[in-house]
């Protein structure tokens, strides 16, 4: 490949930063969804979102392969931890008994 | 930085590379675009895992029980959350394997994750249909 060097051809850095931003938003969405029934897990997941976003800002810049691997491993471990906490919550906290309990009627 | 140049282009059609040095083909840090594309793929799998988790939780915690099928919500939701727990580890492993292949200029290894996800979603869909049918009959 002898193409002339251009700054960020194909906007790879930009797209990668956006992918990190989407991932941060996904963390925030999962955290918000957890808030109602599992307040602590929800808050912890919400708190991860800005960290993921910050990691994305770093990922767009030049970084060593080890730094890259560590960032991605941190994301993988975090998602796995959220899944395990969600599984525990799903097994311990009972769901609604009826639609009425889920959507209380007024008046 | 590509200095050697011997293995810099493609490499997919270079099965005889072992004949050169005997050991591994030369390892160079891949093009930053390939590294970032690999990273985006991993991040996409992470988001998929998060979506599976929230879908499973939603089924278990938000749906009213299926009449006559008390285990219905858990049999649908728990596999989704478990898949969400396993996917990030598999995605990270594949990211490492892809990165190693890129470094050696070898073709990317095949990915198992799409097949696992497809089979799991089909199974959950079939079980959901069965649960709904049982609940409707009772």
User: ipTM score here?
Assistant: 0.86
Q: Flag whether pLDDT at B26 surpasses 60.
A: yes
Give the separation between CA A76 and CA B41, rounded to whole angstroms.
13
Kindly tell me the burial class for residue A32, based on how many C-beta atoms sit within 10 Å of its own C-beta (0-12, 13-18, 19 or more).
middle
What percent of chain A stands above pLDDT 90?
A: 50
Burial A85-96 (b: 16+ CB within 10 A, else e): bbbebbeeeebe
**Cβ-defined contact of B43 to A37 (cutoff 8 Å):** no
Q: How many residues does chain A have?
A: 107
Residue with tokens 């069965």: B130
Query: Can you give the pLDDT at residue A3?
Result: 53
pLDDT at B77: 95
Q: What is the pLDDT of residue B12?
A: 42
Tell me which of A64-68, B16-20, B85-89, B107-111 is least confident. Answer: B16-20
pLDDT tier, A10 (very low <50, low <70, confident <90, very high otherwise): confident
pLDDT digits (tens, 9 = 90+) for B108-117: 999 999 999 9
Mean pLDDT of chain A: 86
**Residue of A1, A2, A56 whose CA lies nearest to A26:** A56
Altogether, the residues listed in chain B come to a count of 138
Residue A104, both tokens: 């209380």
Judged by phi (left if over 0) then psi (alpha if -120 to 50, else beta), residue B65 lies in beta
Q: Which of residues 17-56 of A touch B (CB under 8 A)?
A: 19-20, 22-23, 26-27, 29-30, 33-34, 37
Residue in chain B lying closest to A24 (CA):
B47
pLDDT at residue A42, as a whole number: 93
pLDDT at position A4 is 54
Which of A19, A13, A6 lies closest to B32, judged by CA?
A13
Spatial distance between the Cα atoms of B2 and B33, rounded to a whole number of angstroms: 14
Q: Enumerate the residues of chain A whose CB falls inside 8 A of the CB of residue B81.
A: 83, 86-87, 90
> Which pLDDT tens digit goes with each residue over B35-66?
999 999 999 999 999 999 999 999 999 888 99
Question: Is the pLDDT confidence value at B4 over 70?
Answer: no
CA distances from B104 to A62, A71, B26, B27, B119 (A): 21, 22, 6, 5, 32
Confidence of residue B101 (pLDDT cuts 50, 70, 90): very high
DSSP code of B70? T
State whether residue B66 is helix, strand or coil.
Answer: strand
Q: How far is CA A54 from the centre of its chain?
A: 12
- Exposure of B83 by Cβ count < 10 A (0-12 exposed, 13-18 middle, 19+ buried)? buried
- The confidence score (pLDDT) of residue A93 equals 85
pLDDT of res. B50: 97
The pLDDT value given to residue B10: 41
């Amino acid at each position: 490949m002898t193409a002339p060097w251009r700054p960020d051809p194909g906007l790879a850095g930009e797209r990668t930063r956006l992918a990190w931003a989407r991932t941060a938003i996904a963390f925030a969405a999962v955290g918000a969804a957890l808030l109602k029934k599992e307040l602590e897990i929800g808050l912890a997941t919400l708190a991860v979102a800005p960290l993921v976003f910050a990691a994305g800002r770093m990922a767009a810049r030049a970084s060593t392969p080890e730094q890259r691997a560590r960032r991605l491993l941190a994301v993988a471990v975090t998602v796995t931890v959220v899944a395990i906490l969600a599984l525990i919550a799903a097994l311990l906290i009972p769901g609604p008994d009826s639609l009425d309990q889920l959507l209380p009627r007024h008046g | 930085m590509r200095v050697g140049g011997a293995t810099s282009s493609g490499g997919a059609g270079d099965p005889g590379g072992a004949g050169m040095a005997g050991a591994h083909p030369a390892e160079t840090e891949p093009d930053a675009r390939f590294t970032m594309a690999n990273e985006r793929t991993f991040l996409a799998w992470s988001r998929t895992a998060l979506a599976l988790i929230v879908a499973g939780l939603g089924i278990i915690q938000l749906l009213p029980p299926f009449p006559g099928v008390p285990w219905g919500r858990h049999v649908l939701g728990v596999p989704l959350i478990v898949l969400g727990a396993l996917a990030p580890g598999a995605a990270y492993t594949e990211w490492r394997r892809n990165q190693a292949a890129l470094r050696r200029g070898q073709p990317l290894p095949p990915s198992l994750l799409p097949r696992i996800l497809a089979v799991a979603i089909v199974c959950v869909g079939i079980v959901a249909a069965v649960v709904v049918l049982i609940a409707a009959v009772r």
